[in-house]
């Protein structure tokens, strides 16, 4: 599993099979766990504009059917077996969106983070 890739998460407690972005480095993804952040549909302008969120345009990704955002404050450590990799990744974040996500994570932990 590769950093920036979008997958579906299938866990018993989440019947929606939420989309997630892998944020952990490939070298750390060799074990049984990965670090992910969830993607949610935009409900209002607050979702899109909050500095701890990364907005995504539906037109930019095939796996996203409406305006959405990545919730940087909801970093999760999940088992790789809970990631639906049966068809491979659904998509991969663009360089621009990855940079915005790294900045949002930095905002959340009060650090100046920039994508390299």
Ordered by start, the domain boundaries in the chain are 5-108
Summarize pLDDT for 75-106 with one digit per residue, the tens: 999 999 999 888 789 999 999 999 999 999 98
Per-residue pLDDT at 108 exceeds 80: yes
Rg of the chain over CA atoms, in angstroms? 13
Fold of the domain built from segment(s) 5-108: SH3 type barrels. (2.30.30)
Burial, 75: exposed, middle or buried (Cβ in 10 Å; 0-12, 13-18, 19+)?
A: middle
pLDDT tens-place string over residues 28-39: 888 899 999 999
Q: For position 45, what pLDDT does the model report?
A: 63
């Amino acid at each position: 599993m590769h950093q920036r890739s979008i997958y579906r998460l299938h866990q018993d407690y989440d019947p929606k099979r939420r989309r997630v972005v892998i944020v952990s480095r490939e070298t750390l993804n060799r074990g049984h766990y990965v670090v992910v952040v969830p993607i949610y549909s935009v409900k209002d302008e607050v979702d899109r504009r909050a500095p701890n969120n990364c907005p995504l345009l539906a037109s930019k990704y095939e796996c996203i059917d409406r305006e959405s955002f990545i919730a940087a404050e909801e970093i999760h450590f999940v088992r790789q077996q809970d990631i639906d990799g049966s068809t491979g990744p659904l998509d991969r974040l663009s360089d621009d969106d990855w940079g915005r996500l790294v900045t949002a994570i930095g905002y959340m932990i009060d650090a100046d983070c920039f994508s390299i």
